[in-house]
Every structure is written in C-alpha cells, then in structure tokens.
C-alpha cells in the first residue's frame, strides 16, 4: 500500500503543479479513500524520498503543508501519522446551552482536562465585562473540553466570587453548579472571531500550530442583568460549525 502511494510513477513534471503539491494530493487522496487510516504512520522522510525519487526538501514541504492543514500530525521522536478523524459538529447559536448539554444531545461523553481552578485577580477586560468593583477577585476556571476523548475547545472562564466562591467545587458542568445556586445565566452576548492557534493552544487541542480556530467570548447574565460569567474559549476550526437562524425584520424599520 505504502509502495503504491509513494511510487515514483505518475509525478508530472510538465505543468501539473509543483511536485510537493502533487505528493500532498496523493497522500490526501489516500486518506480520503481510506487507503491510509487515522493513526497510520508514514515512512521516515528519507524512505519517502527513496520510494518516490523526490528530494527530501520536496517531501518535507509536502508533509509540513499536510500537517498545517490537519491531515497529518507529527509527534516528536516517533514520526508522522495520519491525523485522527474529527467529526464536524454544528451548534445553534441562538440557544444558551452548556458544553455538557450540547454533547449530551449528540450522545457524546464529555470530560475536561483541568488546567487551572483558582481564585485570582481579574484582567482589565474581565473587570469591564463582569462589572466588578475595584479590588474584587474572581474564580478562574481553565480547561480543555473533550467530547468522546477528542479535545474540541479550551475554555477560560472568570466568575465573580459572589457567584462562585469555591472554584474547586466545579468538577463537571459549570452551568449545573450555577443552576444549583440559582445563578445560571439566562441571556448571553457572544462574540466570535477567527484566530490561528498559538503553539500552546494548538498543542492542547492536538492540532498543528497556526491551524484555524474560533475565538469565542461569552458574557452570561442573570435575568436581573447582572453579569455572572465572562468566558473566553478557543474552538478547533475543523471540528465546529456555528449555525444561526435568521428571521426577516418585522414591519418596523422597513421602507414604507
Ligand atoms: C459553553 C459556553 C461556556 C460555558 C460552558 C459551560 C460557548 C462558546 N461557551 O461551552 O461559556 O461556560 O458552556 O459548560 O458556548 P458546562 O456547564 O458543561 O461546564
């Protein structure tokens, strides 16, 4: 199989595009056709060069591109592998749900890899977003959210201590803890921007540095308008789709 994918035959030097792109297409096609499966390892660079007759520089360029696109992953010391398959999930934007609820609806198991759970001083944007008084401290929760073991997002939440004074009590769903305290947000404002993942976040999400991500900021409010949650998340761009339902405006504001 590897011999066919890396066979020296079939490279076109007469205008079918650069050789590294032709090799990338071959590998990507083999993954799409199931001839290479998630987790399969690729031969070392020098073997790929020997099999294809291409230079090691060309092989490296092809592999680097496929890593950036998320088709391959490189593990230091152990080689290059076909990336695990992630299912793209569609998430309605108009519903104020929790990660745990979203995944339960899809029949997926969730768990979190905790990065931090502590009481901390707020960043200036957290003071603004949560409307904190001078000197007020916050509960800070940082975790990698996983669905069926696949990391989907990194969430960094800040909550006033009057809402959550013991961050270590949150072991599963934050919204379930807030609900039990009568503090679950009923309204939220969310801002979504595109971002390329930095090295640390990419590593935590198991993708290549520079891969596409979605940065989401959510400020959640109680019915009385009090802000209870300021959460900054970064979602894997290859795993999440946010869908919004649009309705035509009512008569007010339309042309006579
Ligand atoms: C969602 C929210 C996040 C909230 C979390 C609670 C987005 C972008 N973010 O992930 O703001 O803190 O749910 O989830 O939707 P949990 O109750 O499962 O901890």
Secondary-structure breakdown of the chain: helix, strand, coil percentages, each rounded to the nearest 5: 25, 30, 40
Residue 73, pLDDT above cutoff 90 = no
Rounded mean pLDDT of 200-219? 92
Residue 255: its pLDDT value, please? 46
- Say whether pLDDT at 88 is over 80: no
Measure the CA–CA gap between 144 and 150, rounded to whole angstroms: 10
Per-residue pLDDT at 240 exceeds 80: no
Q: Is the CB of 216 under 6 A from ligand 1?
A: yes
User: What confidence category does residue 251 fall into, taking pLDDT thresholds of 50, 70 and 90?
Assistant: low
Least confident of 88-97, 119-128, 152-161, 196-205: 88-97
Distance (angstroms) between ligand 1 centre and the Cα of 101 equals 9
Position 38 scores a pLDDT of 86
110 Cα nearest atom in ligand 1: 18
The 3-state secondary structure of 41-84, one letter per residue: ECCCHHHHHHHHCCCHHHHHHHHHHHHHCCCEEEECCCEEEECC
More confident residue, 140 or 93: 140
Percent share of the chain, pLDDT over 90: 62
Cβ count near 182 (within 10 Å): 7
Segment 196-207 mean pLDDT: 92
CA 165 – CA 144 distance, rounded (Å): 22
Interval 114-133 mean pLDDT: 95
Which residues does 220 contact at the CB level (< 8 Å), separation at least 6?
96, 185, 187, 188, 227, 228, 229, 231
- Where b means 16+ CB within 10 Å and e means fewer, 43-55 reads bebeebbebbebe
**Atom from ligand 1 closest to the CA of residue 231:** 11
Q: Residue 72: what pLDDT?
A: 85
CB of 24 sitting under 6 A from ligand 1: no
What does the longest C-alpha to C-alpha distance in the chain come to? 73
Instruction: Evaluate: CB of 99 within 6 angstroms of ligand 1.
Output: yes
Binding site membership of 20 for ligand 1 (Cβ less than 6 Å): no
The mean per-residue pLDDT over the stretch 103-123 comes to 93
Beta carbon of 208 within 6 Å of any ligand 1 atom:
no
Q: Is the predicted pLDDT of residue 31 greater than 90, yes or no?
A: no
Domains in the chain, please, with CATH? 2-82 (1.10.10.10), 89-243 (3.40.1410.10)
- What pLDDT is stored for residue 253 in this prediction? 53
Length of the chain: 256
Give the mean pLDDT of the chain: 89
How far does the centroid of ligand 1 lie from the alpha carbon of residue 98, in Å? 4
Residue 210 DSSP SS3: coil
3-class SS of residue 236: strand
Q: pLDDT tier at 213 (50, 70, 90 boundaries)?
A: very high
Q: What tens digit of pLDDT does each residue of 6-16 get?
A: 999 988 878 77
Backbone angles phi, psi at 185, to 5 degrees: -65, 145
pLDDT > 90? residue 230: yes
pTM over 0.85: no
In angstroms, rounded to a whole number, what is the distance separating the alpha carbons of residues 106 and 45?
Answer: 40
**Residues 225, 186 contacting (CB under 8 angstroms):** no
174 lines ligand 1 (CB under 6 A): yes
pLDDT at 225: 92
Cβ of 230 closer than 6 Å to ligand 1, yes or no, is no
Share of the chain above pLDDT 70, in %: 96
Residue nearest to atom 10 of ligand 1 (CA): 99
| Average pLDDT for 190-197 | 93
Q: Is residue 110 over pLDDT 50?
A: yes
Question: How much is the pLDDT for 245?
Answer: 74
- State the pLDDT confidence band at 122, using cuts at 50, 70 and 90: very high
**What local confidence, expressed as pLDDT, does residue 229 receive?**
97
What one-character-per-residue DSSP string does 106-172 give? TT--EEEEEEEEEEEPPPHHHHHHHTPPTT--EEEEEEEEEETTEEEEEEEEEEETTT-S-GGG-SS
Element housing 104 (H / E): helix 99-105
């Amino acid at each position: 199989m590897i011999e066919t994918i890396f066979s020296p035959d079939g490279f076109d030097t007469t205008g079918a595009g650069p050789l590294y792109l032709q090799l990338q297409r071959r590998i990507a096609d083999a993954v799409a056709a199931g001839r290479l499966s998630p987790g399969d390892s690729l031969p070392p660079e020098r073997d790929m060069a020997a099999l294809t007759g291409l230079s090691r520089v060309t092989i490296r360029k092809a592999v680097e591109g496929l890593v950036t696109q998320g088709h391959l992953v490189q593990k230091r010391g152990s080689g290059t592998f076909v990336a695990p398959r992630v299912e793209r999930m569609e998430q309605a934007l108009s519903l104020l749900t929790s990660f745990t609820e979203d995944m339960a609806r899809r029949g997926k198991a969730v768990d979190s890899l905790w990065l931090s759970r502590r009481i901390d001083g707020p960043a200036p944007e957290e003071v603004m977003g949560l409307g904190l008084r001078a000197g007020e401290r916050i509960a800070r929760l940082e975790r990698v959210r996983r669905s069926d073991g696949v990391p989907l997002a990194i969430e960094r939440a800040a909550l006033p201590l009057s809402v959550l004074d013991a961050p270590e009590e949150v072991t599963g769903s934050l919204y379930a803890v807030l609900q039990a305290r009568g503090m679950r947000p009923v309204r939220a404002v969310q801002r979504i921007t595109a971002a390329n993942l930095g090295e640390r976040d990419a590593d935590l999400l198991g993708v290549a540095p520079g891969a596409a991500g979605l940065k989401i900021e959510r400020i959640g409010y109680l019915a009385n308008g009090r802000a209870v949650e300021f959460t900054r998340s970064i979602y894997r761009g290859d795993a999440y789709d946010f869908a919004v339902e649009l309705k035509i405006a009512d008569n007010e504001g339309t042309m006579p």
